[in-house]
Copies of this chain bind each other. A is one copy, B any other.
Amino acid sequence: MRSGVSGATVSRVFNNPKLVGEKTREAVFKAAKELNYHPNLIASNFVKGVSGNIGVIIPYIPNIHIFSVYYFSELLSGIGKALDEYGYNLILFFCKADENGINDYSAYFKSGKVDGCVLLGTRRNDAGILSLTDMGYKFCLVNNYIEGRDISYIDVDNIMGSYMAVMHLISLGHRRIAFLNGPESYTNSIDRLTGYKKALEENNIPFDSQNVIIGNYGKKSGYISSSEILKLREKPSAIFAGNDRMAAGLVQGLTEKGLKIPGDISVAGYDDSDISTIVRPALTTVHIPFFEMGRRCISEFIKQVKGERSCSFKVLIKPELIIRESTANKSEIDTRGLS
């Protein structure tokens, strides 16, 4: 071809320079520069039978722009960073369920445009996930898991996170602790409820289902729940919210109703998202290293994609309690009684 070499040699120069004699190599580089030649990745991937892309599937919810949700943003940043390091491109898919509410994730794989997919924001009992394994596609779950199946996932130890938050509240003297959880369609919510119960149990505080309120992880639902909580027959002296957004809504609602936080009532959140330090008082919360989680997810997943790993991976990330200003001792008297 151009510099008098065969296409095979050009290919070698760009893929495995050592295989080529120095002279030829230089000549090829020179010619490439002159002709402004660049290997075509589409063709290269095509012949190799790969795409070089990893898909990131995120739920598309009309009117909710998912990236504004801290958790997705951070995760995606981490995933993108890692993918870049591994030489893969990141294709973003906005997933919409069909008429029956079923997600057909397989569509993203079939065309061969991705070598694997990372699924964000999926729910328990998502039939689409199970059918994916049957088809032999490579994928992994983030912030979700399916028991008894050989499905890769990376998740937070939400039982522990929730447990830590509630233990903190209990250590401050609170015994009537409300829990504003998210929908139980998420394994996250189930796990956090488990952690909540565990902390109560260890402290001989009877579980009362009235104290568990279900929101939707949005700020508004926290706001709305504040009224609900104040209507409780036995008012809680502390509330643990399943995420910071709901906690922020809670703080807002409670404050508007004249309650002082943490003086009258303590509020703890979850995620340690940016909102947690914007709200006043700043939220005591559970820190989750989402960005790192994204990176870790990819470092494991890539092995699977490349076939370097035969079995699935299951990673649990440890959360960390962050104490700020929204939680405090229950009250002078009660605290004294405890200590």
Bound CA–CA A84/B108 (angstroms): 12
Closest to A49 in B: B42
Query: Judging by beta carbons under 8 Å apart, are B38 and A110 in contact?
Result: yes
A162 CB, nearest partner CB in chain B, Å = 24
Closest to A48 in B: B42
Closest to A111 in B: B41
Question: Which B residues touch A113, using CB under 8 A?
Answer: 41-42, 52, 89
Query: Judging by beta carbons under 8 Å apart, are A65 and B77 in contact?
Result: yes
How many chain copies does the complex carry? 2
Closest to A66 in B: B77
Query: Judging by beta carbons under 8 Å apart, are A91 and B89 in contact?
Result: yes
Bound CA–CA A231/B128 (angstroms): 60
Closest to A275 in B: B278
A97 CB, nearest partner CB in chain B, Å = 14
Question: Which B residues touch A66, using CB under 8 A?
Answer: 73, 77
Query: Judging by beta carbons under 8 Å apart, are A112 and B278 in contact?
Result: no
Bound CA–CA A51/B68 (angstroms): 29
A284 CB, nearest partner CB in chain B, Å = 17
Question: Which B residues touch A111, using CB under 8 A?
Answer: 38-42
A107 CB, nearest partner CB in chain B, Å = 9
Which interface class (under 10, 10 to 19, 20 to 34, 35 or more) fits A? Answer: 35 or more
A255 CB, nearest partner CB in chain B, Å = 8
Bound CA–CA A94/B52 (angstroms): 16
**Contact digits for A157-169, partner B, Cβ 8 Å, 1 yes 0 no:** 0000000000000
Bound CA–CA A169/B81 (angstroms): 42
A274 within 8 A of partner (CB): yes
A80 within 8 A of partner (CB): yes
Closest to A106 in B: B38
Known: A76-B67, A274-B68. A91 touches B53 (CB 8 A): yes
Query: Judging by beta carbons under 8 Å apart, are B94 and A92 in contact?
Result: no
A85 CB, nearest partner CB in chain B, Å = 10
Q: Which of A34-83 contact B (CB under 8 A)?
A: 38-43, 45-46, 51-53, 60, 65-68, 70, 72-74, 76-78, 80-81
A167 CB, nearest partner CB in chain B, Å = 28
Question: Which B residues touch A53, using CB under 8 A?
Answer: 91
Q: Pick 6 A–B contacts, CB within 8 A, sort by A.
A: A40-B111, A42-B45, A66-B73, A68-B73, A68-B77, A84-B93
Given A41-B112, A68-B70; 6 other pairs, CB 8 A cutoff? A38-B111, A40-B112, A65-B73, A68-B274, A84-B94, A91-B92
The 9 A-B pairs at the shortest CB distance, nearest first, are namely A67-B73, A41-B111, A65-B77, A38-B110, A46-B46, A68-B73, A90-B92, A40-B112, A67-B67
